[in-house]
């Protein structure tokens, strides 16, 4: 009787222990987020980005990374997260978003890149790098 009970417990453990062990995944029936267009304008010490995104599920958000340009090799340094707008249901397909970025003066040149994200954690590819430097004002 004892061997039967032990065999039954082991069989139950094997049967219950098989299969997927993760919560159900949502069915995604729309396109992943994408950046449709980005335009930029530098005015004084400000960079204005106008971003248009599409796709996504549960709202669209975006991330902006920034790097300083190395003056010797003329290449970007280490990319760091500059700003992140979490996916928001109010931001929907092709809704234009504007972001104003304050640039420091001096000889520093920055490079920015943008990507879209949605509530499911999907990302678009990075945009082309956007180079920006504060304009010098002389009186």
Give tens-digit pLDDT for 82-133.
Answer: 999 998 877 766 668 899 998 876 778 899 999 999 888 899 999 999 999 8
For the chain, where are the alpha helices, taking DSSP H only? 2-16
Domains and CATH numbers, the chain: 31-133 (2.60.40.10)
Nearest CA to 49 out of 135, 127, 137, 136 is that of: 127
- Dmax of the chain from CA atoms? 99
Q: pTM of whole model > 0.75?
A: no
pLDDT of 58 reads: 79
pLDDT of 125 reads: 93
- Residue reference for tokens 């975006």: 62
Asked if residue 77 lies in contact with residue 69, where contact means CB atoms within 8 angstroms, the answer is yes
The DSSP H or E segment spanning 54 is strand 46-54
For residue 64, the cross-strand partners are 83, 114
Q: Is 138 a residue whose pLDDT tops 60?
A: no
72 vs 11 pLDDT, higher one: 72
pLDDT of 45 reads: 87
pLDDT of 107 reads: 76
pLDDT, averaged across the chain: 82
Helix or strand or coil: residue 25? coil
Tell me the C-alpha distance between 107 and 103, whole Å.
Answer: 11
Helix or strand or coil: residue 9? helix
Per-residue confidence band for 139, with pLDDT thresholds at 50, 70 and 90? very low
Half-sphere exposure of 60 (CA within 13 A, CB side): 25
pLDDT of 19 reads: 61
Asked if residue 95 lies in contact with residue 37, where contact means CB atoms within 8 angstroms, the answer is no
pLDDT of 88 reads: 82
């Amino acid at each position: 009787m004892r061997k039967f009970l032990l065999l039954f417990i082991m069989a139950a453990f094997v049967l219950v222990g098989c299969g997927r062990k993760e919560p159900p995944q949502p069915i995604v029936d729309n396109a992943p987020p994408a950046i449709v267009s980005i335009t930029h304008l530098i005015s004084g010490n400000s960079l204005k980005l106008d971003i248009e995104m599409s796709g996504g599920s549960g709202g669209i958000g975006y991330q902006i990374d920034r790097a300083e340009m190395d003056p010797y090799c003329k290449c970007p340094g280490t990319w760091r997260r500059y700003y992140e707008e979490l996916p928001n249901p109010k931001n929907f397909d092709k809704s234009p978003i504007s972001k104003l970025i304050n640039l420091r003066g001096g000889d520093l040149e920055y490079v920015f890149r943008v990507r879209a994200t949605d509530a499911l954690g999907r990302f678009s590819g990075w945009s082309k790098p956007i180079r920006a430097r504060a304009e010098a004002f002389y009186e």
